[in-house]
Amino acid sequence: VTKGDTFRVSIANSDLSFETNSKDTILGSLLRSGIGAPYECNSGGCGSCKFKLIEGSIREDYETCPGLRPSDRRKNKHLACTCRAESDCVIELQLDSSYAPKIRPSIKALKFISRTPLTHDLWTFRFQSEEPANFLSGQYSRMHIPGVSGARSYSMSNTPNDAGIWEFQIKRVPSGKATAVLFESNLAELSITIDAPYSVAHLDANSPRSIICIAGGSGLAPMVSILRGVAELQDRADQPILYYGARSQRDVVDPDYFLSVPGFDPGTQYIPIVSEPSADCVGPSGFVHEYLAQALPDDCSQMDFYIAGPPPMVEAVRRHLILDRKIPVDQLHYDRFF
Ligand code: FES
């Protein structure tokens, strides 16, 4: 993180404190110091990182955030992912060691390698850092792009490696400033950096349960990383299934792409579901959660579910699994991006 003025943030009702600086978010500094507290989107959308300011002063990145209600502001509550300290502070927040990072996030400069279309608006981007690409399958980066204010969260679609390769699948956002640069500019001339890795919705390599991946849109990236991560595990004979929700046939990623995942048979393990099918569509159609309702076996108790995609899809799938199928929440792994 570019160094600004340095401050200390103390967590009320604990003996924990951490150093931050005026250029870093409170959440970034908290995780960099190894402390765990709930978060998901890292961009002001989900509200999981809410804290109360007891003493000191902070600066908000945005005037309003979907994750913060006006009543929160009246109670001096803020989002750790979208504010920065301007003095030493005392804050009250819920600590949770399960969010303590296994790999502490840090900033890395990236060199552009390539971009390749997967569909008409979902492309694979490859970059390289000088240091090893150190992350867990399913995690995401916060990307800083010159000329674009704020960072964008993109999940890696490869697995950790010493060569420093970072691969992302990025969906072009209509009128989106960041994706306009990524899809159109000469990236070799731009100084792109990432702050990574983030997310606790990563592959749990110790779980003995079978793996179901459910993705929509660019939520495919972390699922591909998880499929590749499973393939790299020794002594496992998993046959994970990937359900992929796409709006129309042209949004469906070609099954041949998955031949790049070792041991993965797209013919039996990849199931695209089209929500707005054309008349000649032959495969499954409808919403992903509706399809899962009839496609999953009655007994899903020995399955781990990894879910990534647009929040309405993630929410509908989550509700189906928890409410209709009574799957314990610790068998569900997801981040909601807004
Ligand atoms: Fe901060 Fe989502 S609002 S993590």
pLDDT in tens, 167-182: 999 999 999 999 999 9
pLDDT score of 234: 76
187-199 mean pLDDT: 97
* Residue with CA nearest ligand 1 atom 3: 44
Q: Does domain 106-198 have CATH number 2.40.30.10?
A: yes
In sequence order, what are the residues at sequence separation of 6 or more whose Cβ sits closer than 8 angstroms to the Cβ of residue 126? 112, 113, 114, 115, 165, 166, 167, 168
Q: What is the DSSP string of 40-72?
A: SSSSSSS-TTEEEEEES-EEES-S--TTS-HHH
Residue 319 has phi, psi (to 5 degrees) of: -65, -40
- Closest atom of ligand 1 to 82 CA is 1
User: How many residues are listed for the chain in this entry?
Assistant: 338
Three-state SS for 124?
strand
**In this prediction, what percent of the chain has a pLDDT beyond 70?**
99
The predicted-structure confidence for 294-330, as pLDDT tens digits, reads as follows 999 999 999 999 999 988 999 999 999 999 999 999 9
Confidence of residue 336 (pLDDT cuts 50, 70, 90): confident
**Number of the ligand 1 atom closest to the C-alpha atom of 68:** 3
Look at residue 337 in the predicted model and tell me its pLDDT.
Answer: 67
The pLDDT tens digits of the residues spanning 112-150 come to 999 999 999 999 999 999 999 999 999 999 999 999 998
What's the gap in Å between 238 CA and the centre of ligand 1?
Answer: 33
Q: Which amino acid is at 225?
A: S
- What confidence score (pLDDT) does residue 218 get? 84
DSSP-assigned letter for residue 322: I
Rounded Cα distance, 176 and 188, in Å? 20
In the predicted model, is pLDDT for residue 3 greater than 80?
Answer: no
Q: 50 vs 14, 72, 267, CA distance in Å?
A: 17, 9, 44
Q: Average pLDDT over the chain, rounded to whole? A: 94
Please tell me the distance from the alpha carbon of residue 169 to that of residue 183, in angstroms, as a whole number.
12
ipTM associated with this complex: 1.00
Provide CATH 2.40.30.10 ranges for the chain: 106-198
59 Cα distance to chain centroid = 25
Residues of the chain within CATH 3.40.50.80 domain(s) are: 210-334
Give the nearest ligand 1 atom to 41 CA. Answer: 2
Query: What's residue 237's pLDDT?
Result: 74
Which regions of the chain carry the CATH code 3.10.20.30? 6-99
Beta bridge partners of 147: none
- Binding-site residues, ligand 1, Cβ < 6 A: 39-42, 44-49, 67, 79, 81
Distance between CA atoms of residues 285 and 308, nearest Å: 19
Question: Per-residue pLDDT averaged across 79-92, rounded?
Answer: 96
Which atom of ligand 1 sits closest to the CA of residue 42? Answer: 4
B/e letters for 107-122, b = 16+ CB within 10 Å, e = fewer, are bbebebeeeeebbebb
Q: Which CATH topology does 6-99 take? A: Ubiquitin-like (UB roll) (3.10.20)
Local confidence band at 26 (pLDDT 50, 70, 90 cut-offs) = very high
User: Looking at the domain that runs over 210-334, which CATH code has it been given?
Assistant: 3.40.50.80
- 2 has a pLDDT exceeding 60: no
* Burial classification of residue 285, based on how many CB atoms lie within 10 Å of its CB (0-12 exposed, 13-18 middle, 19 or more buried): middle
Residue of 79, 314, 335 to test ligand 1 pocket, by largest number of atoms within 8 Å of CB? 79
CA within 13 Å, CB half, 244: 26
Residue range 241-259, pLDDT digits in tens: 999 999 999 999 999 999 9
3 state DSSP class of 110: strand
What's the CA gap between 291 and 296, in Å, rounded? 8
Distance 270 CA to ligand 1 centre (A): 31
